[in-house]
Amino acid sequence: MEKKIDSHLIYDGKIIKVYKDTVKCENGNEAFREVVRHHGGVGVLAIIDNKILLVKQYRYPNATDTLEIPAGKLELGEDTKLCALRELEEETGYSAKSITQIAKFLPTPGYSDEWLYVYEANDVFKVENPLNCDEDEEIEVVAIDIDKAYQKVVNGEIFDSKTMIAIMHAYINKRKI
């Protein structure tokens, strides 16, 4: 295991902090690690009438539109389930009577400490006066049949990891849904 010797904050932003750490490797050599610190995020698989609710939005870092499950970042110390329900409502106008965690994973373990939590919404319903999206978000809600969503993963049209995990879960378990 590597041992941290020193750490310097390089960037302190609204969403991330970036550190340059000096570590001692198992073989005794010293090395540098650039580490992105992030509070984590959530995503929600919501299915209505055999259709997955996805959001289409432009992603600036990749200069492309994406199809993703409703998702968002955690605030420091925020409960992941509450965050998931909030993001589902803000981004789609729907909520759920309950949610069940289906995955917890590291999206980029080579340079980030971020954990992502993916939940499945149970008993999804339309909210009468939903919470508003973040003011910098432009989102289009898209409902796609589970089989079509699976094909979009297979043919590379859906390439967001949390969304791929959620769609594969839905596709594998669709007989139970």
Residues serving a catalytic function are 135
Tokens of 146: 């589970």
The total of other beta-carbon atoms located within 10 Å of residue 70's CB is 27
Closest Cα to residue 92, out of 43, 121, 124, 55? 55
Which residue's structure tokens are 């650039």? 34
Rounded distance between C-alpha atoms, residue 159 and residue 153, angstroms: 7
Which DSSP letter does residue 109 get?
T
Q: Side chain identity at 17, as an amino acid letter?
A: K
Pairs from 72-79 (Cβ < 8 Å, separation ≥ 24)? 72/41, 72/42, 72/134, 73/15, 73/38, 73/39, 73/40, 73/41, 74/39, 74/40, 74/41, 74/42, 75/39, 76/39, 78/39
